Structures are given as C-alpha cells and as structure tokens.
Structure 1
Amino acid sequence: MGRQRAALGATLGFALVGCSAPADAVPMPDETQSAALAAQLALASDQQSVCYGWRLDGDQRSSAGSNLGPGIDVQQDPGRCPRWVQLTVSVSYATTGDGSADIAVTSTAGLPGGSNALAGLSRFGVDEAAFVADPVWALVKGASSLPLLAVETGTVDPALAPPDPAPTDAPAAMPDAGGDLWRDRAGYLVGAAILLAVAAAFNGLGRWRRRRDARAG
C-alpha cells in the first residue's frame, strides 16, 4: 500500500518523495524531507519565540528534529529553546498487516500538550489511523500544525508574514482628469459651442447689414 500522499506538496510547499523500505517497515522521512520540515518549523519559531520538534520511532529506526535542524532534539538546547512543543510518535506494524500508533504531544508550561493537543491534531486529520496508513505524511502534517495549536492556547501570537517595504519616494500626483461632464460629453459640447458661435456670427452680420441699409436710406 502506498504511504506517500502527493497532496502534501500543495499543503506545505514541498513534495514528499517515496521512501525505499520493506513493505512491512515503518517509513521514515529522508534527509530532504527532514530538512524541509525543520525549515518550516523555523519560520514559525522565529516569529513566535517557541521551539517545535518531532520524533518518530518504528522498527528500530527513528527520525527526530526540530526548528534547530534535523537530528537536533527540541530539548537539547535550553538556552535557545526555553519554551518548546514536541510531537512524539511510535508506529508498529503486525505481521497480519494491522498496525498501531502511540501519539503524544509534550511541551513546557502554558503550551499545547496532552489530550487537548491530540484532539487538535485530530481536527487536522492527524490521528492514529493517519500514522498507520502514512507515517511520513502524518508526521509532517502533525509537526507543522503545532504552531497553530500554540496560537489556540492564546499564549503566542500567530506567525505573521513580513510587512511590505515602505516606498522610498512619494508617488507622483495623478493629472487632473476633469469633471465627468467633459469626459462623457466633450464631443457634444464642442459641437454645440461651434453652432452657437456660428449663430452669433450670422446674428451679428444681420445686424450690421441692417445698420448699413439704414444709413444708405
């Protein structure tokens, strides 16, 4: 059964490649996937001042890492990570094809952990069934959801995008477009003005002729 989901690339901005392992072995993230996950967590950690990490165990193999990098446990550096949240999962497959997963979210005080955090992950589709069906997908989705769970506790701010740089020069003033009357009816108004001018000219010519004839008489 294929355990990689192509939809992860659209969700997190990077693609998961297939894991080469025996059919009954628990798949683990490869180096590319681990590095991408660490970078994803680093973006949130830099803006929230909270460290996020993961650990996946199965078949005497494991994958661990954090926003500090692949292979670096979130609890190894208290100086840089005084506040942290970690997703820990152990997956096993039985010879009958069935499987099970033990999931835990641990953290420092005030951050998501325990049953509330597991319920939050379940809302994102990350539960025991997901880890059994696709451990790598569930691990990446679950670890990437930790910053969202932290925001829900109200103890950290959402990760914000960097603001757009302010313009260095004031934009040039737009030329006066004039009134709507001139824009919409300019042709008619110009034509009317010409007709009025012609009429005035004929009127003036007629008055001049009448005065001339009066003098001649």
Structure 2
Amino acid sequence: MTYLSPSGGRERAAALDDGDVLGLPGDDRLTDLLEAGLGVLAAAHERAVAAPIEIIVEPEARMCSPVVPTALVPVRAGDDLWEVHPELVVGVDDAVVPTASAARAGVAALNSSDGSVLAYTPACLWLDTDGWPAQLSLGPVLVTADELGTGPLRVSAEMEERELGRGLVDPADAWLTAGPGRIRALLPVATPPLAANDELFVDADTLGTFEVRVGSQV
C-alpha cells in the first residue's frame, strides 16, 4: 500500500499488519518494488514489519493510490471503454469531485513490462453527467497475483446498507491479463445516479473494502 506520511508529507510505501500501517524505510516506491520482483517486494515487506519508520493506525492513515500511472489507464465496464488520464487517478482517501454523478466498481490489474500480472487492487471509476470519466479511485491495497488464489472476486457497492449492485471479476479475464496498458481496470458493478455527500461503500472481496463520500473528503 501507499500512504501520505504525516511526517514530511510525502507518499511512502508501507505494509499493512494487524490493522497498523508500517512505513517502509527509504524512498522505494511500491511500483518499483513490484517491478523488481516478488522476492524484492517480500523483502521490503519484512523490513517494514521489522523496523518501520513510523506506525499509524489504519483508520488514521491517508491512503494514496498504490501506484501512479504514467500513461492512460484503459477501463472497461461491459461494452463501455474509457481511457483515463493519469491526472484523474487518485487514492480512496482523496476527495471525489462534485461532478461525479455515478460510479463503476471493480478491479484493476498492474502488469509488468513482459505483460504478466503482478498485482490487483480495487477500482472505482467516477462518471460525470455526460458519462465521461471524472476520476478513478484505486486502492487502498495491492494484493500480489500469487496471494490472490483462484476463482472470481465478488464485488459489490452499497449506500446506507442498501445494495446498489454486485458482480464478479475473474482475475484471469483476458482484459486484465492481456489487455492494453500497464494498468487496466474491469468494472462490472454500476451504481444508479449519485448526489453530493452520498457515501459509497465498495467491497472487493479479498482485495478489501473502502468507503468514499461524493464531493467531499473522507
């Protein structure tokens, strides 16, 4: 995961352990650790757990997008396709823009330079009233492909304990494993129109959950 460090105000990679965010010493970005291989990532996780530079209780941590894209992010929801600009990619603790009027929830895959899937994370695309991408929320955590196991992921969206939609994402889906781009998202769950201050709760199965408020800071 990646969070905003309260000491220095910079984004820092971290391990999540027993409800605590354990800051990784050094300047390694999560994206670079993944690219270096699962062995390097595992070693970084061990360093963070053994000697964290800081410890923050998870609810008090400001979660950033776990990875920062450098190119357009292809997103698919049914027959609809979008390419989301990197500047629109945010973390789940970032404010959702007031122009967001509906959401599509699902899973994003991070792929290596050779095309293999490195990790997965929850994803939520926010659309404006014209159906164009207003924002793409990723996170809060990344789960490596070898940790995920087999079988589809159950994704659902709720508001005030009322289910708005649910769907399945197969991590082996061709769009995630062989589609365009280094980061790509598959979003099977569509919400009805949303209004400012609506709180959307997204459950992405073993990838985790998050809750965001439209048009406001979490």
TM superposition score category, shorter chain reference: under 0.3
More strand by share: 2
Q: Which has the higher contact order (CA 8 A, sep 6+)?
A: 2
TM-score using structure 1 length: 0.26
State which structure, 1 or 2, has the greater radius of gyration over its C-alpha atoms.
Answer: 1
TM-score using structure 2 length: 0.26
